[in-house]
Amino acid sequence: MYELAGGIVLGGALGANDAANVFGTAVASHMVRLRRAVAITAVLVVAGAVLGGAPGIRTLGGMTDQTAWSAMVVSVVAGLTVLGMTALRLPVSTSQAVVGAILGMGLYIDPAGVRWAALGKVVACWVGTPVGAAVFAATAYPTLGWALDRLRLNIVWRSIVLRSSLLAAGAYGAYALGANNVANVTGVFYGTGVLDGLHGRQYLLALVGGLAIAGGVVAFGKAVMFTVGRDLVKLGAFAALVAVLAEAVTVHVYSFVGVPVSTSQAVVGAVLGIGLSRGARTVHARVLLRIVAGWLATPAVAGAICYAAAAVL
């Protein structure tokens, strides 16, 4: 069972990074108190993981044949890849690092055991994440804007409605994050024998993963929320609400599909969608390049490191 430690550390890193995508804006702009945001995120991440995390855990667990030991190596390599690429300021996503590492390890253990169809489904969902979030945001921005306008709220009540909505969207985003991303943390251990013999082990894996993410949120969420949140604050409260909502809905949908995706890429897609609905007709090539590089470079780097680590160890 000690092998789970690798996943738990990865979960902590994921929680620290991704909490900013759900409550960063509200906290950085002082619309929601940090303690409240951290508490809501921690509780709902665990709830999302336990209630909605099972499909993703089964997908990642079923992509290759792993042992408990190899799963631990996968988690550690994925964590180090995320850490290293973040330090080098390269685009990185935990979901893509984990899948790359699983694939690298799977290829080392038994290339014939890699389920390429499952991998294809995962990659399709990666592409669908920013695109889906962009479409949702481009549709929701004018629609919700129209609805908000019809309410004819004064400046104070508009503020109250937007703050409450940001709180609700953040809470939903935290639930969706737990449901979708818990598979990154403990999915690779599914089918490895860890926790075997215990009733409902996928839920136990989800609980362990959820608690690990929540631990990361509580321990390190503050600094990241303030840093990442400030970028979204520039959008204004309503656009930030649409961005968080688009990210949460997209990520939640993929948790039903059973594929862990990048919340950061969902946010980038949502912001692009808002830009397009506001009349922007061009998208910075650099933004698209960063997303595509994330799809290709992160799994390639994690996969290569994992393959090499497996060969050395």
Partner 1 sequence: MFFRKERQIERDIGRYLGHMEQCLATFEAGFAAYLEEGLTPAFDRFVKTAHVHEHAADEKRREIEETMYAKALIPESRGDIMELLEALDLVANQAEGVLDQVWTEQVRIPPELHADLKVLVAANAEAGRALAGAVRELFRNVRAVPEAAAGVYTKEREGDHVERILVKAVFRSPADTGTKLHLRDVISEIGAVSDFAENAADRLRIIAVKRVS
Judged by the rule CB under 8 A, the positions of this chain that interact with partner 1 are: 29-31, 33, 145-146, 149, 152, 154-160, 162-164, 233, 236-237
Structure tokens at 52: 């909605």
Cβ(109)–Cβ(65) under 8 Å? Answer: yes
Please give the C-alpha separations between residue 180 and each of 14, 51, 198, 225, 288, in angstroms, as whole numbers: 12, 11, 23, 20, 23
Which CB, 30 or 199, lies closer to partner 1?
30
Structure tokens at 32: 């929601």
Which CB, 26 or 261, lies closer to partner 1?
26
CB of 180 to partner 1, least distance (A): 28
Q: What is the rounded CA–CA span in Å between residue 72 and residue 230?
A: 35
Establish how many alpha carbons lie within 13 A of residue 124's alpha carbon, considering only the half-sphere containing its beta carbon.
Answer: 8
CB of 224 to partner 1, least distance (A): 20
Which CB, 115 or 158, lies closer to partner 1?
158
Which CB, 87 or 151, lies closer to partner 1?
151
Cβ(59)–Cβ(183) under 8 Å? Answer: yes
CB of 284 to partner 1, least distance (A): 24
CB of 166 to partner 1, least distance (A): 8
Residue count of the chain:
313
Q: What is the rounded CA–CA span in Å between residue 219 and residue 226?
A: 14
Q: What is the rounded CA–CA span in Å between residue 153 and residue 158?
A: 5
DSSP character at residue 32:
S
CB of 123 to partner 1, least distance (A): 39
CB of 144 to partner 1, least distance (A): 12
Q: What is the rounded CA–CA span in Å between residue 261 and residue 38?
A: 22
Which CB, 154 or 282, lies closer to partner 1?
154
CB of 28 to partner 1, least distance (A): 9
Which CB, 26 or 105, lies closer to partner 1?
26
Please give the C-alpha separations between residue 258 and each of 29, 63, 79, 187, 206, in angstroms, as whole numbers: 33, 12, 21, 11, 13
Which CB, 164 or 227, lies closer to partner 1?
164
